[in-house]
Chains A and B, each alone.
Chain A
Amino acid sequence: MPEETAVYDSIIDPTLGVATDSPAGPTALAERPRTLSGLRLGLLANIKRNAEEFLDEVGRLLAEQQGVAAVVARKKPDITSTAPEPILDDLRRGCDVVVVGVGDCGSCSASAVADGIILEQGGIPAVVVCTDAFTASADAMAGLRGAPGYRYLTVPHPMANLTPDGVRDRAAAAVPGIARMLTRGAVAAAS
């Protein structure tokens, strides 16, 4: 009813501030290579327990099984924020594909997805790894970054309490999915 709409229009929307730093619009994913063989792999870890160990094992396995030529490992200092620009820049310059992880808390799952989307915007195919407890925050961040439906890889929760063997098993189970999502044909445009 148009009359009702007019009344509701006089209510101020409390979610509207200033759009000074809103992220850019919809994100198309970077073009995927056909194979990982001979490529430079980036690993973007956060400071959560077992994140680096998991990614290191992923790197080792991708080198062994898929012929990745070099591994560049970086660690971001803050679980809430996206990776600092120098780290992102290193990855953009020094890598052909990147694995980001592990999103296993409220803040770091969302920021891992944001890192992945930023890398895709820079033309770098990326796979974000989150534990399956945090799909809601990962999806919410994808929507906020203009990439609703952005696909990431989930691994069973939790990650932090795994033994070194447990981490290696988790990595081994994740590697086929990571390889698929980094190569051609597997991932459609995000939105």
Chain B
Amino acid sequence: MTSPPAGPAGPPGGPVEQARAVIEYCYERGWTDGLPVVPATRPAVESFLEMTERAPDEIIGSAPHLGRSITVAQAAANAVMAGCQPEYFPVVLAAWEAVNLERSARGAWQSTSGPSPLIVVNGPVRGRLGINYQGGVFGPGFRANATIARAVGLIVRNGYGIRPHELEQATQGLPGRWSVCLGENEEMSPWEPFSVVGGVAPGVDAVSAILIRTCEYVDNRGTDSPEAVLTDFADTLARLGAYLGGGHSSGGLVLGPEHAQLFGRSGYSRADVQQWLFEHAVRDRADLVAAGKGGSGGEDSPSDPAQAGTPFPMMPSARDIPVLVAGAPNAAISMVFRPFGWAPWSGRSVPVAWPPAVAAMSERSESNGG
């Protein structure tokens, strides 16, 4: 038995050993987020570029303060490295665009807060690419979810050169940084898709993104009262630790299907849930003062003497409490997430742009019930 040919220019060993050597090379170059990457080759990048009509040298992101710009081809190389399949690439591009709609995104990657995008996918693309929107939606275990989110992180790292302990100064970061991409469970949501809130027509593949600092679960399986569950959410939303000073805190909800359906059955629209939470996610001003968060004493601050005794609203507005639905209907559990900084969600979802051939193919498969 002969060993496989090493090829004209291969590192020593058979193909598997060679693959390992190439992965090690990528580590040595500082190109990875700590996990192995798939080496980006020209044919691989070209197969990704075939999935978009955008020009390879189109600039899709700039950090003028760093003197760096990111091109479509560079995004493709990083998506290859993240482990994406070529057909994920239009979703990566839409996710990147959605992330960049966030007003806070530009300086965020260097911030001590260390935020990460919560990427939300709507539309039939979830089924076509196997984007999980059911059990275990925060991951891991699903290639599309894991690698689309990771691609965004590698674009920031390799495209902008923002690496931890250098330009990236996260104090602690957060669990799941660059790994949260979830489908909305539209099928079990009582409301219109989240992307429709973001301005995209129903049924259209779309991506939304919100920079977040963490997620915290709310486990409430003991009641059929929507107000009781809302009370539980409001308590977590109003947590003192999430308040930065300077006006208000921020928060949103990824509702598990059981909680979402309880609201639906009880006649609550998404806007009703948001309004209820805005009105009830309040704190006594004295609580904030006791925690050293009383602020300047000015009109917007908890310690304003003219407003002593009135409740302090912790959320910026009803509309700025994003609410979506994901997960399995097997327990009444939901997740509160914490948008980064003070800027509310951009409120805009980005349609996924498919090249015409792929769009035609997927329409056929959907009309066949595929």
Contact with B along A117-155 (1 / 0, CB 8 A): 000000000000000001011011100110000000000
Classify chain A's interface size. 35 or more
The answer, among A23, A81, A110, for a CB contact under 8 Å with B167, is A110
CA distance A145 to B21 in the complex (A): 33
Known A-B contacts A12-B45, A14-B78; A7 and B71 likewise in contact (beta carbons under 8 Å): no
Known A-B contacts A107-B107, A144-B161; A18 and B167 likewise in contact (beta carbons under 8 Å): no
Distance in angstroms from B239 CB to nearest chain A CB is 21
CA distance A131 to B21 in the complex (A): 41
Which of B36-44, B91-99, B265-273 contacts its partner? B36-44
Known A-B contacts A20-B59, A136-B165; A8 and B25 likewise in contact (beta carbons under 8 Å): yes
Q: Which chain B residues border A7 with CB–CB below 8 Å?
A: 7, 9-11, 18, 22
A114: Cβ under 8 A from any B Cβ: yes
Q: Which chain B residues border A6 with CB–CB below 8 Å?
A: 8-9
CA distance A79 to B331 in the complex (A): 44
B158: Cβ under 8 A from any A Cβ: yes
A3 contacts B107, C-beta separation under 8 Å = no
A18 contacts B71, C-beta separation under 8 Å = yes
Known A-B contacts A3-B9, A21-B67, A22-B67; A10 and B41 likewise in contact (beta carbons under 8 Å): yes
A11: Cβ under 8 A from any B Cβ: yes
B67 contacts A23, C-beta separation under 8 Å = yes
Known A-B contacts A20-B59, A23-B67; A14 and B158 likewise in contact (beta carbons under 8 Å): yes
CA distance A70 to B21 in the complex (A): 62
CA distance A139 to B64 in the complex (A): 18
Known A-B contacts A12-B40, A15-B158, A17-B74; A107 and B111 likewise in contact (beta carbons under 8 Å): yes
Known A-B contacts A22-B67, A80-B110, A106-B168; A14 and B9 likewise in contact (beta carbons under 8 Å): no
Q: Which chain B residues border A16 with CB–CB below 8 Å?
A: 74
Distance in angstroms from B257 CB to nearest chain A CB is 38
Contact with A along B62-104 (1 / 0, CB 8 A): 1011111111001001100100000000000000000000000
Known A-B contacts A80-B110, A144-B67; A15 and B169 likewise in contact (beta carbons under 8 Å): no
A82: Cβ under 8 A from any B Cβ: yes
CA distance A111 to B166 in the complex (A): 13
Q: Which chain B residues border A64 with CB–CB below 8 Å?
A: none
B169 contacts A111, C-beta separation under 8 Å = no
Q: Which chain A residues border B74 with CB–CB below 8 Å?
A: 14, 16-17
Q: Which chain A residues border B112 with CB–CB below 8 Å?
A: 105-106
A12 contacts B67, C-beta separation under 8 Å = no
B159: Cβ under 8 A from any A Cβ: yes
Q: Which chain B residues border A107 with CB–CB below 8 Å?
A: 107, 110-111, 169
B64 contacts A21, C-beta separation under 8 Å = yes
CA distance A3 to B31 in the complex (A): 22
Q: Which chain A residues border B170 with CB–CB below 8 Å?
A: 106
Using a CB–CB cutoff of 8 Å, the interface residues on chain A facing chain B are 1, 3-4, 6-8, 10-18, 20-23, 78-82, 105-107, 109-111, 114, 134, 136-137, 139-141, 144-145
Using a CB–CB cutoff of 8 Å, the interface residues on chain B facing chain A are 7-11, 18, 21-22, 25-26, 29, 31, 39-42, 45, 57, 59, 62, 64-71, 74, 77-78, 81, 106-107, 110-112, 154, 158-159, 161, 165-170
Given contacts A14-B77, A110-B65, A136-B169, 4 further A-B contacts (CB under 8 A): A11-B25, A17-B159, A80-B107, A106-B110
